[in-house]
Structure 1
Amino acid sequence: AAFSGDGKGLVAARDADPGDTLIHLPEDCLLRTLDKSLPREYIQAILDTDNDMIAARQGLRMAFERTLGNTSYWWPYIRTLPPYYEGVPLLWQESEVNKLDVTSISEEILHNNLTLEVAMEKIKIDKDILRWSAATAFTRGLNTKLRGTFIAPLIDMCRHSFKANSVLSYEDRFLTLSALREIKEGEPLLIDYGSESNDIYLLNFGIVPYDNPHETVSIAFNSTQMFALSLMGAKTTNIADAVEREIRTFEVEPERAALMNYYGVRENKDVTVANNKGIAKEFAAGVRAMLAREDITDVDDFKNPLKDPDIEWVVCHALRVLYAHLLTEYQTSEEEDLAILRLRDEKNLSPAEVLSLRFRVEKKKILRRAYLQATDDLHKAAVRRKKRNKRKEDDQDLQEAHPIAKPSEPTPQNE
């Protein structure tokens, strides 16, 4: 069935109860990446392609079947597939990739595209065929713990939802789609593609789920930047400026920096700084561990606010400034992106542009949520500091008003 403005998918032909079998596919109907029928050059090209490049590897297999035409065992399935695909990142031009406005994923898409170009050269296949085949694998391939990587005809039309009504299982050489709950006739069949961030959904499926409960924001960050930012507090949102002004006055402690994967060979490793709930607890714990005066035994001990309100106040400042900085790195605001999306038909936006806008909006929602949480935590830390300082002042006033006389030393008696 077609869904208004959002592609096609399977719907239930009849009512189904929980546990009912919806689709039952024998193993022979699964189009796998590697097969004995493949020519040697295809097998070698697949083996030479990075294991993480699932679409390219599966696409090479699909390309071979496509070149066979109606002599392929899979031709009845292949001829039902779309003649072209829109919005698949694997086929984006560099100008479209750059609109994502997120360096890490943009680089990964360009790397994937380059990998596909290399594969084309190895087997001397028509570029349009391989691009179509890779796009097919990209949008329809399954990479499960059940039986590895494959394309499952018919099941590949199931749409994604984090509130799935169907589930896959493999038993006795059959792949089975079963109902998880009661499904009414005409209701879409939905499966959960996995507990992944939108980075993975965009890269592997060409979709950007709204309000993904597993969405995260990760950055490549190093210890020098983190410490400088922490020290600067709310004085600046410019990390480069913070580093320039503070680098000479603060020395990184390797043991503490290592807790956040920011040290040595792991410097600049991607670190998750925010998630769907706001501030990533592990990240905040790492910041506290680096700044705390206490001895460190386990970074998990720092997931809760520190007893020292002064240090906790600096931690909250650092987090708040970081999220503000990450939001300002985007060329557009969340509100501007949403406004453009609402006018996408009038502006005649391409599928790639729509996906890019959705992707950016979801990232900004996560960062905004983390920023607001950091702001609230900063206020709480400030209140704690104020109360602590007030208690100190009261104790001092009390001591001055009622000084405690020191006991006089006994006078030595004359002999």
Structure 2
Amino acid sequence: MQRGGRVDGATLANLAGRDGGSGWGLKAVRDVHQGHRLITLPSGCHLTYGANDDPRLLALIDKVPSELWGAKLALQLIAQRLQGGESQFASYIAELPKGFPGIPMFFPRTALDMIDYPPCSQQVKKRCKWLYEFSTDVLAKLPGSPEDPFGGVAVDINALGWALAAVSSRAFRTRGPTHPAAMLPLIDMANHTFSPNAEVLPLEGGGGAVGLFARRAIAEGEPLLLSYGKLSNDFLFMDYGFIVEDNPYDTVQLRFDVNLLQAGALVSNVSDALGAPLDLAPRTWQLQLLAELGLVGPAANPELNIGGGGPGAEVLDGRLLAAARVMVARAESEVAGRGVERLCAVDRPLGRDNELAALRTVGGVLAFALSNFVTTLEQDKALLVGQAVAVPQPGGAGERQLQPPASEDEMLAVRFRLEKKKILSRALQRVGALSQAAAGNAELKQTAGSAAAKKGSKPSPATSKGFGSKKP
């Protein structure tokens, strides 16, 4: 490479699925030992931005919200692309793909609808909305103005979308989340795994230089794989255009609301001490405990995650079970004074009746979340092997036939939502196992775990189909 870059033992290759994915990636061209430096990349080879760049470009970058860090770097990529052969990154940019299949932001409507998971669908819409507004309200006004860093060339939504997809799928944040991201030529061709054989590390002497190192001995022809991080499928899907089957870091996000617990209690037929349907209208002491759990109040974080803790981790969110324990309690003494950590301990019941009622309510919440998908887990499996399935029409007007995915984008969308259903199904199995253990635990006190009967109207359903809002 020019500017001091060096490659020793690695090359670009069409791996044809050998890395667990498909297409292009990196492989070893000879046997290398653990710790061997495969690629050296000085800071001058990093496509990024900083104080030495055109002030007009930096001013434009400052107009992008901080959470859209990829879009900031995308503007620099556009500026470098417009320089043509005069850019020091010209050869690298020339090798970037013309399109990025699998990125939901560019899905057709049919594939986008098949995602059927509001946290992701809403994020796609948010990104598309920003792309449109920034292109029309900011970029379209630049040509001919003193603020234009692009030499009078009109940059439209297609150019910005391409650059954002390129950056999202390739950029590294080598200097941490508070510093600009960078595209690392050649290194960014290494594909992802949670069991990597290579890693990117800073080089001695500082200056921002990095290297690709072998984490273990690597044989000739073996794909060079990095871990992009302990990422859920939401992030992998949104930014990289792929998912990992049975991803131990994948989650289903739910947004806490008492109405969500009420729906769960209704689904599971949880009854009060008098045998009537359980009414979860919260009392003052219950609201106080929910605030201690951080689920209600001005400083609340209502986002709950099912799964995602990594290999062997607890699949249930402790705060969800704690909230259920609080809301099904008949008396304050059942739950008061226990502390947040104790209330959230999934494997430490407070009392048999309370625990059984709480677990049934949580099981109902999970079943409710599953029911909000258009298809079932088994139906998704059938679709993926080419079988049509029948699903109920909205409003109970009979059934309609869903045809198998007709494109790679549609196939990916179905695979994505299938993984969410697998997480919820595993969580339901966990609830069943905990319920069985609680019912058979003779040492648990027979504390009444059902709220006193309260007559009232049925609560409104939870918003966003019970799901939370993801922000990759």
TM-score range, shorter chain: 0.7 to 0.9
Deviations 1:166-192 (A, max 9, x none): 111113332111010111111111111
* Aligned equivalent of 2:413, options 350, 353, 356: 356
Who is 2:47 aligned against?
A: 31
Output the CA distance in 2 between the equivalents of 1:283 and 1:33: 43
Distance change (3 Å), C-alpha of 1:261 and 1:306 = same
SS for the counterpart of 1:367 is helix
Q: Would you say the 8 A contact 1:223–1:267 is kept in 2?
A: no
Q: Would you say the 8 A contact 1:155–1:177 is kept in 2?
A: yes
Q: Would you say the 8 A contact 2:111–2:410 is kept in 1?
A: yes
Distance change (3 Å), C-alpha of 1:387 and 1:191 = closer
Q: Would you say the 8 A contact 1:141–1:149 is kept in 2?
A: yes
Distance change (3 Å), C-alpha of 1:364 and 1:357 = same
Please identify, of 213-222 and 127-136, the stretch whose mean Cα deviation from structure 2 is larger. 127-136
* Aligned equivalent of 1:127, options 157, 161, 173: 157
Aligned pairs (5 A) from 1:7-406: 7-34=23-50, 36-38=52-54, 40=56, 42-121=57-136, 122-124=138-140, 125-146=155-176, 148-171=180-203, 172-173=206-207, 174-226=209-261, 228-229=262-263, 232=266, 234-235=268-269, 246=279, 253-265=286-298, 269-275=302-308, 277-291=314-328, 293-302=334-343, 303=345, 304-343=347-386, 349-384=406-441
Considering fraction of residues, name the structure with more helix.
Answer: 1
Instruction: Report the CA distance between 1:46 and its aligned residue.
Output: 1.7
Q: Would you say the 8 A contact 2:48–2:181 is kept in 1?
A: yes
Distance change (3 Å), C-alpha of 1:89 and 1:19 = same
Output the CA distance in 2 between the equivalents of 1:164 and 1:134: 26
Deviations 1:110-154 (A, max 9, x none): 111111222323123133322221111121111244564110000
Q: Would you say the 8 A contact 2:26–2:191 is kept in 1?
A: yes
Structure 2 residue runs of 5 or longer lacking an equivalent are 1-12, 141-154, 271-276, 388-402, 447-472
Q: Would you say the 8 A contact 1:38–1:64 is kept in 2?
A: no
- How many residue pairs end up in the alignment? 379
Output the CA distance in 2 between the equivalents of 1:70 and 1:64: 12
Distance change (3 Å), C-alpha of 1:10 and 1:248 = closer
Matched to 1:255, the amino acid is Q
SS for the counterpart of 1:182 is coil
Output the CA distance in 1 between the equivalents of 2:337 and 2:63: 45
Q: Would you say the 8 A contact 2:438–2:444 is kept in 1?
A: no
Instruction: Report the CA distance between 1:196 and its aligned residue.
Output: 2.0
Instruction: Report the CA distance between 1:307 and its aligned residue.
Output: 4.0
Deviations 1:321-376 (A, max 9, x none): 111111111111122222322349x9663332122112111111111000011112
Output the CA distance in 2 between the equivalents of 1:246 and 1:291: 9
Output the CA distance in 1 between the equivalents of 2:49 and 2:419: 33
Instruction: Report the CA distance between 1:44 and its aligned residue.
Output: 2.7
Q: Would you say the 8 A contact 1:222–1:267 is kept in 2?
A: no
Deviations 1:258-277 (A, max 9, x none): 24432123567321134464
Output the CA distance in 1 between the equivalents of 2:421 and 2:265: 25
Output the CA distance in 2 between the equivalents of 1:109 and 1:101: 12
SS for the counterpart of 1:186 is coil
Please identify, of 148-157 and 268-277, the stretch whose mean Cα deviation from structure 2 is larger. 268-277
Who is 1:413 aligned against?
A: none
Matched to 1:28, the amino acid is G
Q: Would you say the 8 A contact 2:191–2:224 is kept in 1?
A: yes
Output the CA distance in 2 between the equivalents of 1:250 and 1:289: 10
Output the CA distance in 1 between the equivalents of 2:412 and 2:54: 35
Instruction: Report the CA distance between 1:51 and its aligned residue.
Output: 1.4
Structure 1 residue runs of 5 or longer lacking an equivalent are 237-243, 390-415
Output the CA distance in 2 between the equivalents of 1:233 and 1:97: 29
Instruction: Report the CA distance between 1:206 and its aligned residue.
Output: 2.2
Output the CA distance in 2 between the equivalents of 1:196 and 1:211: 12
Please identify, of 246-255 and 85-94, the stretch whose mean Cα deviation from structure 2 is larger. 246-255
Distance change (3 Å), C-alpha of 1:33 and 1:289 = farther
Output the CA distance in 1 between the equivalents of 2:425 and 2:409: 24
SS for the counterpart of 1:31 is coil
Deviations 1:84-132 (A, max 9, x none): 2212123234543332111122111111111122232312313332222
SS for the counterpart of 2:211 is strand
Q: Would you say the 8 A contact 1:223–1:263 is kept in 2?
A: no
Output the CA distance in 2 between the equivalents of 1:248 and 1:139: 46
Output the CA distance in 1 between the equivalents of 2:174 and 2:325: 38
Deviations 1:61-88 (A, max 9, x none): 1111122222222111111111222121
Output the CA distance in 1 between the equivalents of 2:282 and 2:61: 52
Output the CA distance in 1 between the equivalents of 2:431 and 2:315: 9
Output the CA distance in 2 between the equivalents of 1:71 and 1:353: 40
Instruction: Report the structure number with the largest CA radius of gyration.
Output: 1
- Give the alignment's Cα RMSD to 1 decimal: 2.8
Distance change (3 Å), C-alpha of 1:387 and 1:27 = closer
